[in-house]
């Protein structure tokens, strides 16, 4: 097996996973198919919807096929693409046991010529006690070790499930041990109940914990995930494969899936989709159809919506726009947004693996965007690698949008790397609290689009950046701030003044007009203050 990665963004990636004689582009959604009751035949999924991979339950097929000999599951399901087969672990979670041994289900999956097989693990679930969760983890590890000894066909891609439920330390232990045993694909088990309850902060913890303890050169599968509104977040966290029956389960309940949530067919007036299924009709007409036809219609739309979202995510990764897509999708539900914000605690890991440059600029929306890896990397590099001019005593902080100031500086032949030697010109613009002017054209500062009025949390972060920078470079003695009459710049100036008062720096603030008409005089005035401060003798109390 091989996994070739084409593009990266955040922890997401596009790639090609090669099985024994087929290949699958990732990220990929594998719709669950049930040969006993399937509204959309697998062949139709492939020919009409362009579906490249599906997943079926090998245990259920084995139970219901009886004595019928299935030489090749591709012929049995009439599907030419990649087929993955589950082992029946979901039935263990739901019913408590299955009528097959781990060794038998491995042999059955090998016999039916599956492309991707799953060992029979012991799922934890989301409601398990810690003691039970630990038991499922240890049993899954034991079965995984035993499975590697009995697997005969190495041309099948074998999946190693990670268990632990909501206990992240158990997930970490499970991931490390499964890595030692070695599998072609790793999967997070038992997340379905977490997703059904919209516990996306817990889901973030589960996925990132597993990813941090697994090899990065293998695909990562999120079991049971298939609603389009959460796929972008899951991909951004590093998930490559998904499987779900949501497209048909929701259809049977008259539910219409969209990238921003779920709609009830009974309450719809219009279809917000122009796929082949929806473009030719409307909700009222579909409601009048018999139950079987209505369910088939909704299943086809839901499948199309899920597959389309995967293509949208892949293009976002290729364009370097995955964060923007994730922010848009996560604002469709408060729990999703909480999940996105929960990634803040993993910033170090995410920035370490994310790309440092992009073909295009970045879009900054509000304080949530402060978590995006490009911004975090910019701050880390500024504070770790940059050193200001040695003679700089005055930090002249001017708005990045003040083009007139830049033109004046050039017309007066003032060196922007150190005006009058002791003055260091820096720029500020949301969300950047300070950028040395000599770095003005570097990524991502010069390639960031942000609102004209930043929110309060963004202003706080800008001031915090300034505080950290000034604390690290103590050669500055004066901060001269240039501002316009924009409300946010006035507030920023007040916050900087309070900062200087606490840190003992001299602070001066000037309007853009004052600077434009008297830059040299103002700088000379600040130099005189520095000269007087240097001569001042500290007061000593007489004995």
What DSSP assignment string belongs to 249-279? Answer: HHHTTTEEEETTEEEEGGG-SS-S--STTTT
- Please confirm whether the linkage preceding 27 is cis (ω < 30° from 0): yes
CA dist 101 and 142 (Å) reads 13
* DSSP three-state, residue 242: strand
Among 209, 223, 203, which Cα is nearest to 32's? 223
Whether 306 and 29 have beta carbons less than 8 Å apart is answered as yes
Active site residue 86: yes
Beta bridge partners of 136: none
What is the gyration radius of the CA atoms in the chain, in angstroms?
29
Peptide bond between residue 311 and the one before it cis (omega within 30 degrees of 0): no
Whether 480 and 526 have beta carbons less than 8 Å apart is answered as yes
Q: Is 238 left (phi over 0), alpha (psi -120 to 50) or beta?
A: left
| Residue (of 48, 3, 10) closest to 28 by Cα position | 3
Residue of 9, 86, 184, 243 marked catalytic? 86
| Distance (Å, whole) CA 415 – CA 420 | 8
Residues identified as active-site: 86
């Amino acid at each position: 097996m091989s996994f070739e990665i084409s593009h990266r963004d955040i922890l997401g990636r596009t790639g090609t996973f090669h099985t024994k004689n087929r290949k699958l582009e990732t990220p990929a959604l594998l719709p669950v198919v049930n040969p006993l009751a399937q509204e959309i035949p697998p062949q139709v999924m492939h020919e009409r919807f362009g579906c490249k991979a599906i997943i079926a339950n090998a245990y259920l097929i084995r139970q219901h096929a009886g004595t019928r000999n299935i030489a090749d599951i591709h012929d049995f399901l009439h599907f030419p693409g990649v087929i993955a087969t589950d082992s029946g672990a979901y039935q263990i979670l739901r019913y408590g046991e299955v009528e097959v041994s781990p060794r038998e289900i491995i042999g059955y999956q090998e016999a039916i010529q599956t492309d991707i097989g799953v060992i029979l693990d012991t799922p934890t679930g989301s409601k398990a006690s810690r003691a039970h969760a630990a038991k499922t983890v240890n049993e899954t590890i034991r079965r995984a070790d035993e499975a590697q000894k009995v697997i005969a066909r190495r041309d099948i891609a074998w999946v190693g499930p990670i268990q632990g439920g909501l206990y992240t330390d158990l997930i970490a232990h499970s991931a490390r041990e499964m890595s030692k045993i070695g599998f072609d694909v790793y999967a997070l088990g038992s997340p379905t109940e977490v997703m059904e309850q919209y516990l996306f902060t817990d889901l973030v913890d589960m996925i990132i914990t597993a990813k941090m303890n697994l090899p990065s050169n293998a695909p990562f599968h999120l079991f049971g995930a298939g609603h389009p509104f959460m796929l972008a977040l899951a991909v951004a966290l590093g998930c490559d494969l998904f499987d779900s029956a949501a497209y048909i389960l929701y259809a049977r309940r008259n539910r219409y899936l969209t990238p921003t949530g779920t709609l009830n067919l009974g309450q719809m007036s219009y279809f917000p989709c122009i796929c082949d299924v929806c473009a030719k009709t409307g909700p009222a007409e579909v409601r009048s159809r018999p139950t079987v036809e209505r369910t088939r219609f909704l299943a086809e739309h839901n499948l199309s919506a899920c597959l389309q979202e995967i293509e949208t995510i892949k293009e976002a990764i290729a364009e370097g726009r995955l964060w923007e897509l994730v922010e848009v999708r996560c604002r469709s539900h408060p729990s999703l947004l909480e999940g996105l914000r929960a990634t803040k605690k993993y910033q170090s890991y995410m920035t370490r693996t994310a790309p440092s440059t992009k073909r295009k600029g970045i879009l900054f929306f509000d304080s949530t965007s402060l978590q995006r890896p490009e911004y975090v990397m910019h701050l880390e590099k500024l504070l770790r690698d940059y050193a200001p001019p040695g003679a700089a005593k005055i930090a002249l902080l001017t708005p990045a949008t003040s083009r007139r100031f830049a033109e004046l500086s050039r017309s007066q032949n003032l060196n922007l790397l150190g005006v009058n030697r002791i003055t260091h010109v820096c720029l500020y613009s949301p969300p950047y609290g300070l950028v040395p002017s000599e770095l003005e054209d570097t990524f991502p500062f010069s390639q960031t689009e942000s609102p004209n009025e930043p929110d309060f949390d963004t202003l706080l972060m800008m001031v915090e950046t300034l505080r950290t920078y000034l604390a690290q470079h103590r050669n500055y003695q004066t901060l001269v701030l240039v501002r316009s009459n924009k409300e946010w710049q006035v507030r920023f100036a007040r916050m900087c003044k309070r900062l200087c008062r606490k840190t003992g720096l001299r602070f001066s603030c000037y309007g853009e007009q004052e600077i434009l008409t008297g830059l040299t005089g103002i700088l000379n005035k600040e130099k005189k203050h520095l000269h007087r401060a240097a001569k001042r003798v500290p007061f000593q109390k007489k004995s």
